[in-house]
Chain A
Amino acid sequence: MHDRPVDPVPTQTLEAFADTIIPGVKRFPGDRAISGVAAEDGAVAAGALAVLADPALGLADALNGMAGMLNMHAGDYARKHVVRLDPTVPAFVALSFDERTALVQELTDPSHPEREVWFGAALFCTMAFDSAPHMSTKDALAQGHPGLALIGFATPEPDGLWRFPRFSYERALADPHPDTTSTGSPA
Chain B
Amino acid sequence: MSATEKFDVVVVGSGFGGAITAYHLAAGGASVLVLERGPWLTGEDFDHDFKLGSSYTRIFDFTVGDGMSVLAGNCVGGGSVVYFATMPRAPGFVFERHGSIGRRMWPASIDRAALDPWYDLVSEALPVTRQDWRDVPYAGGLFAAACAHAGRTANPVPSAIDKPKCTNCNWMMAGCKFDAKRSLLLNYLPAAVAHGAEIRPLHEVQRLSRTGDGDYLVHYNVVDDTDYRLSGPGGTVEAKLVVLAAGAGATPVILQRSEAELGAMPHAVGRYFSGNGERLNTAVINDERAREVLGLDRGDGQAYGAHQIGKGPCVATWDKLDPTLPEYSRFSLEQLYFPPGLGTILAQAPGATGPTWFGREKKDMLREWQSWLTVFAMTEDDNEGVFGPPPATGNAERIAQQMLGRGALSYQPTDNTRRGWAQSDADVKDILERDGIARVMPWSNDLVGAYTVHPLSSCRIGDDPRTSALDDRHELRGHPGIFVTDGSAVPGALTVNPALTIAALAERAVPGLVRAAQRRGVKVTYGAPSPSAAPAEAVAGRG
Contacts and interface: CB of A to CB of B under 8 A. Distances in A.
Interface of A: 20-23, 37-38, 42, 54-59, 101, 104-105, 108-110, 115-116, 119-120, 122-123, 126-127, 129-138, 147-148, 150-154, 156, 160-178, 180-181, 183-187
B341 A127 contact: yes
Contacts of A183: 89, 119, 123, 128, 130, 158
A177 B155 contact: yes
Given A167-B137, A174-B145, A177-B318, A22 B358 contact: yes
B168 interface: yes
For B133, B157, B229, B406, the residue with the greatest tally of chain A CB atoms inside 10 Å of its CB is: B133
11 contacts: A105-B355, A120-B399, A134-B51, A148-B340, A152-B370, A161-B167, A168-B137, A169-B138, A170-B134, A177-B155, A180-B318
A38 B358 CA distance: 13
Nearest to A161: B48
A186 B321 contact: yes
The SS class assigned to the B binding surface is loop
Interface string B19-59: 00000000000000000000000000000111111000100
Given A131-B341, A152-B370, A170-B133, A186 B91 contact: yes
A151 B362 CA distance: 11
B206 interface: no
B51 to A, nearest CB: 5
B52 A162 contact: no
Contacts of B89: 181, 183, 185-186
B264 to A, nearest CB: 33
A113 to B, nearest CB: 13
B304 to A, nearest CB: 10
Contacts of A169: 133, 136, 138, 141, 296, 298
B148 A174 contact: yes
A160 B48 contact: yes
Given A23-B360, A168-B141, A183-B123, A130 B136 contact: no
A13 to B, nearest CB: 17
B256 to A, nearest CB: 23
B177 A137 contact: no
Given A57-B400, A150-B367, A174-B152, A138 B144 contact: no
B405 to A, nearest CB: 11
B414 interface: no
Given A186-B91, A187-B91, A175 B318 contact: no
A135 to B, nearest CB: 6
B145 A168 contact: no
Contacts of A180: 155, 318
Contacts of A177: 153, 155, 317-319, 321
B446 A110 contact: yes
Interface string B347-379: 000000011001110110011011000000000
B123 A186 contact: no
Interface string B75-95: 000000000000011011000
Contacts of B296: 169
Given A131-B341, A137-B48, A153-B340, A184 B158 contact: yes
Given A169-B136, A185-B88, 16 more contacts: A56-B53, A58-B229, A130-B341, A130-B366, A133-B50, A133-B52, A137-B49, A137-B50, A138-B49, A161-B177, A168-B135, A168-B136, A168-B138, A174-B153, A177-B317, A183-B89
B359 A20 contact: yes
Nearest to B306: A167
Contact of B400 (A42, A56, A167, A181): A56
A100 to B, nearest CB: 10
B interface residue count range (under 10 / 10 to 19 / 20 to 34 / 35 or more): 35 or more
A156 B47 CA distance: 12
Contacts of A172: 133
Contact of A186 (B300, B359, B401, B496): B496
B101 interface: no
B169 A132 contact: no
B156 interface: yes
B344 interface: yes
A133 B341 contact: yes
B402 interface: yes
Contacts of A136: 49, 51
A134 B49 CA distance: 11
Nearest to A179: B318
A164 B400 contact: no
A175 B153 contact: yes
Contacts of A38: 360, 363
Contacts of B402: 56
Contacts of B366: 22, 129-130, 147, 150-151
B64 interface: yes
A171 B123 CA distance: 26
Contacts of A156: 48
B356 to A, nearest CB: 10
B344 A126 contact: yes
A165 B310 CA distance: 10
